[in-house]
């Protein structure tokens, strides 16, 4: 016998209705310019401190392992990171191991931040002079092991277009001049939508300060490495983007023996993370309400029987 009470109906709501509500909640909330209060956690604070401590003119290795599938989280992380690196004039060598599309996705983000800087009359980052694209490496484990052993061997044959010269060995560029081992860089930063951060930590964690920007799914696992000191700082998911944007905007006060760290007052700091933060909370609220209502309905109908 089918029950038709309101509690029974709440347990049998068509999933398409829930998906429609999710779309409405996420879309409508994007049109409201509401700043949700954000309190950055220690992993993000340590990430920000570490990046801000990189000396001007130095080179970091930036491994970008995300594609459009994690754009909502990873693109915001990459944008915030590039804003910091470019404002500090830190050079970077870009590579990818997770997906052949990843280098192009990263270059598109670099192009977008360059356009942002050009619109403000600021210097744009130039390939060869400020960054080199090392391209895609198809074997994550093998590449990490090779870099740990000999960076020049791992990157052998990689070329970038040098002004007036055409394709030239990347180690002749201003970005990688004087760098022969992974220990020569002040930081290795991984922006990833998969488990490539784990692979790097296992093989390079003791050789170079490692920083990670991961998706929400990878967050709990990566925090274990942060707790053990193998990762110096972590930005997790869209929430992490909102947190680091907040630090960029307001800076970081002196605390727990750490000195104060300045922000970038008057510059574009609040981007994708802050813009999507209300939508994230709206969708989470819908999920929680659906779970609560479903469980209450189940309890009520069971008692009726």
Bridge partners, residue 161, by sequence: 167
Q: Which of 267, 270, 273 is nearest to 117 (CA)?
A: 267
pLDDT digits (tens, 9 = 90+) for 52-69: 999 999 999 999 999 999
Q: How many CA atoms lie within 13 A of 158 on its CB side?
A: 21
Instruction: Per-residue pLDDT tens, the chain, 305 aa: give them.
Output: 455 578 778 878 888 998 999 999 889 988 887 777 899 999 999 999 999 999 999 999 999 999 999 998 999 999 999 999 999 999 999 999 999 999 999 999 999 999 999 999 999 999 999 999 999 999 999 999 999 999 999 999 999 999 999 999 999 999 999 999 999 999 999 999 999 999 999 999 899 999 999 999 999 999 999 999 999 999 999 999 999 999 999 999 999 999 999 999 999 999 988 888 888 878 889 999 988 988 888 888 888 77
* pLDDT at position 1: 42
* pLDDT at position 61: 98
Q: Rg of the chain over CA atoms, in angstroms?
A: 23
* Helix 219-227, helix 196-204: angle, nearest 10: 20
Alpha helices in the chain (DSSP H): 6-11, 15-29, 42-52, 71-87, 102-119, 140-149, 151-154, 196-204, 219-227, 237-250, 272-304
pLDDT digits (tens, 9 = 90+) for 243-278: 999 999 999 999 999 999 999 999 999 998 888 888
């Amino acid at each position: 016998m089918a029950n038709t009470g309101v509690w029974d109906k709440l347990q049998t709501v068509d999933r398409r209705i829930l998906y429609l509500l999710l779309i409405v909640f996420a879309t409508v909330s994007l049109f409201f310019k509401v700043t949700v209060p954000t309190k950055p956690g220690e992993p993000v604070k340590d990430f920000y401190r570490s990046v801000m401590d990189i000396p001007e003119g130095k080179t970091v290795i930036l491994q970008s392992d995300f594609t459009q599938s994690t754009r909502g989280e990873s693109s915001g992380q990459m944008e915030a990171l590039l804003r910091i690196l470019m404002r500090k004039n830190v050079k970077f060598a870009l590579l990818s191991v997770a997906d052949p599309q990843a280098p192009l996705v990263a270059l598109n983000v670099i192009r977008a931040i360059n356009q942002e800087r050009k619109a403000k009359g600021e210097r744009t980052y130039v390939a060869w002079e400020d960054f080199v694209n090392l391209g895609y490496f198809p074997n994550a484990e093998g590449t990490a092991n090779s870099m740990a052993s000999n960076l020049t061997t791992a990157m052998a044959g990689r070329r970038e277009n040098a002004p007036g010269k055409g394709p030239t060995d990347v180690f002749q560029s201003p970005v990688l001049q004087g760098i022969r081992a992974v220990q020569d860089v002040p930081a290795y930063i991984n922006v990833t939508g998969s488990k490539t951060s784990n692979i790097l930590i296992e093989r390079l964690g003791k050789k170079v300060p490692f920083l990670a920007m991961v998706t929400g799914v990878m967050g709990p696992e990566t925090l274990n490495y942060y707790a053990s000191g193998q990762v110096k700082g972590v930005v997790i998911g869209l929430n992490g983007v909102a947190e680091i944007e907040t630090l960029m905007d307001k800076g970081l006060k002196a605390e727990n023996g750490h000195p104060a760290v300045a922000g970038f007052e008057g510059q574009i700091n609040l981007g994708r993370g802050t813009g999507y933060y209300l939508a994230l909370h709206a969708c989470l609220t819908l999920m929680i309400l659906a779970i609560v209502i479903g469980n209450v309905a189940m309890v009520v109908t069971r008692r009726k029987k």
